[in-house]
């Protein structure tokens, strides 16, 4: 199912002053565009986007009559998968010129059934009552698209104090900010009077994204009507809990997805030097292994911050002693099996075909256990692991693989199996567990974490490989969001607070 997201655009030092009509910000090199674009987001699809920036000099609708400032290409997954769903990229498109930077941020809308519980306290409020102190209460307002404000919550009155602590309260996020986490929230503080002529003490503004940062120095607000008092309002606590937790909330709030690929190097694939082999390297088109890898990898790589991926092989004899291995790094480096992006994995795959001897049998358990070891070390919801196995044949270690999968079902990981070639894949269907949950030694898997598809079912009849790959990726990745959420719910893990953004923030690194 799709999730609706806002996409917001900001540009830095684009090199010219803009001036003009609608969707234009006048005379600035650093425009922060107010308009947000609502897009349907699908994790399992590659959704390409292009942003063009112009300097508008007239009211002409013809863009050719205006100055082109630069452009950028990206995917919606890149934006959602960036830390705090904030992607910063250099503008290009003008040879030899630095065009500035564009910042793209995304935020989920969906049905926004989130609720927030929060509490505030104040210190040294202004004294408004002649015979006593003050009887303060707070009024919360949601900002509207037209710049007006609508009241959405009023706290209780705390009698006769300048240092009130208001009771915690719960409110739907939609009521607070209409599901837009960046939208301004205005808060006014009053001294209650019996006759209804409440005295204004002061006000401050914030946003739900700021409140989600919890209790810290950024959630302390100065409040006074005349800007002379030392009054502060402190955000004491906020607990964002979600009735219907969404995949994109976890990704936005820094759940990193780690992608590992395992490729079948058994002899049943055929001699790689012959055109009948499933591993044959045709100079004019990719083989089925490369297409499956590229189809899935190009989408899932958007959710891994450093784009470094472990790539493994199984079922081959390795030099120099030519022993069979069911868990070897494609790049030949046992200590560091990571490859740089999809191109790095494909290059390591091609190189392995030249150095190893295809053999057998077809054992899955070693590579499943390999990824499970990493997943077992990080079970707090900050990381989730996806293993892609591409294979041509009948599995040889069914009992061991079923046991490995049952054990892995308790961990933050999912397994995708893509079958290539014309073999019968009945055993893979059993591992999939859609109809009957997989079990081993009397233990039933805690979750369904395996998705199997035969690649031949997605081959386009006209030979359009791009279409074949898109269809494959859509089906094999469609279950990942629900599998991630099922793990989080089973461990009562909620999305982490929105991180405080700093330009010096470094992306999370892969586990070693």
Lowest pLDDT segment from 165-169, 275-279, 308-312, 399-403:
165-169
CB 142 within 8 A of CB 178: yes
| Half-sphere CA count of 271, side-chain side, radius 13 A | 3
Q: Does the predicted TM-score (pTM) go above 0.85?
A: no
pLDDT of residue 365: 97
pLDDT in tens, 501-512: 333 333 333 433
pLDDT above 50: residue 272: yes
Domain 262-491, what fold? Rossmann fold (3.40.50)
pLDDT of residue 304: 80
pLDDT of residue 225: 66
What is the average pLDDT across 20-49? 73
- CA pseudo-torsion sign 71, 77, 78, 80: positive
Higher pLDDT, 474 or 282: 282
pLDDT in tens, 75-118: 998 988 888 788 999 999 999 999 999 999 887 765 556 677 88
DSSP labels, 93-114: -STT----EEEEEEEE-TT--E
Lowest pLDDT segment from 45-59, 397-411, 456-470:
456-470
Higher pLDDT, 388 or 32: 388
Strands 220-222 and 114-123: unpaired
Domain boundaries, the chain: 3-108, 115-242, 262-491
pLDDT of residue 269: 95
pLDDT of residue 273: 93
pLDDT above 60: residue 352: yes
CB 181 within 8 A of CB 107: yes
Q: Which of the four pLDDT bands, split at 50, 70 and 90, describes residue 20?
A: very low
Domains 115-242 and 262-491 alike in fold: no
Which two three-digit tokens encode residue 149? 């404000």
Q: Is CATH 2.60.40.150 what the domain over 115-242 is classified as, yes or no?
A: yes
| CATH number attached to the domain at 3-108 | 2.60.40
What is the C-alpha to C-alpha distance for residues 307 and 79, in angstroms, rounded to an integer?
A: 14
């Amino acid at each position: 199912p799709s999730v609706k997201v806002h996409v917001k655009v900001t540009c830095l030092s684009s090199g010219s002053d803009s001036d003009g009509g609608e969707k234009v910000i006048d005379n600035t090199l650093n425009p922060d565009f107010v308009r947000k674009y609502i897009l349907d987001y699908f994790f399992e699809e590659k959704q390409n986007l292009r942003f063009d920036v112009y300097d508008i000099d007239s009211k002409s609708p013809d863009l050719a009559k205006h100055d082109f400032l630069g452009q950028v290409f990206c995917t919606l997954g890149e934006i959602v998968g960036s830390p705090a769903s904030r992607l910063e990229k250099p503008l290009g498109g003008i040879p030899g010129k630095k065009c500035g930077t564009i910042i793209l941020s995304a935020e989920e809308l969906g049905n926004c059934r989130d609720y927030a519980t929060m509490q505030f306290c104040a210190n040294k409020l202004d004294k408004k009552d002649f015979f006593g102190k003050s009887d303060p209460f707070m009024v919360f307002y949601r900002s509207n698209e037209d710049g007006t404000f609508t009241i959405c919550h009023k706290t209780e009155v705390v009698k006769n104090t300048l240092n009130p602590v208001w009771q915690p309260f719960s409110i739907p996020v939609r009521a607070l900010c209409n599901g837009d986490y960046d939208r301004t929230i205005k808060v006014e503080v009053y001294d209650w009077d019996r006759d209804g002529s409440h005295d204004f003490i002061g006000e401050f503004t914030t946003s739900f994204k700021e409140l989600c940062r919890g209790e810290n120095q950024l959630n302390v607000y100065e409040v006074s009507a005349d800007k002379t008092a030392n009054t502060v309002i402190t955000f004491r606590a906020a607990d964002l809990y979600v009735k219907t937790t969404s995949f994109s909330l976890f990704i936005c709030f820094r759940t990193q997805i780690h992608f590992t690929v395992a490729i079948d190097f058994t002899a049943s694939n055929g001699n790689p030097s012959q055109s009948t082999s499933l591993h044959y390297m045709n100079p004019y088109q990719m083989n089925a292994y490369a297409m499956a890898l590229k189809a899935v990898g190009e989408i899932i790589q958007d959710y891994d911050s450093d784009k470094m991926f472990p790539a493994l092989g199984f079922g081959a004899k390795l030099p120099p002693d030519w022993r069979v291995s069911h868990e070897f790094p494609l790049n030949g480096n046992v200590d560091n099996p990571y490859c740089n992006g999809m191109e790095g994995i494909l290059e390591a795959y091609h190189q392995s075909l030249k150095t190893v001897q295809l053999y057998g049998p077809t054992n899955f358990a070693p590579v499943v256990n390999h990824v499970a070891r990493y997943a077992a070390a990080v079970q707090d919801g900050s990381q989730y692991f996806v293993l892609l196995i591409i294979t041509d044949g009948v599995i040889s270690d069914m009992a061991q693989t079923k046991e490995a999968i049952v054990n892995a079902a308790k961990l933050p990981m999912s397994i995708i199996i893509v079958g290539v070639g014309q073999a019968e894949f009945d055993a893979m269907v059993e591992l999939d567990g859609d109809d009957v949950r997989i079990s081993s030694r009397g233990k039933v898997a805690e979750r369904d974490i395996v998705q199997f598809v035969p690649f031949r079912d997605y081959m386009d009849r006209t030979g359009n490989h791009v279409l074949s790959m898109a269809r494959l990726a859509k089906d094999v990745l469609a279950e990942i969001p629900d599998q991630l959420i099922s793990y989080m719910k089973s461990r009562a893990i909620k999305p982490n607070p929105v991180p405080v953004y700093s330009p010096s923030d470094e992306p999370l690194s892969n586990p070693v």
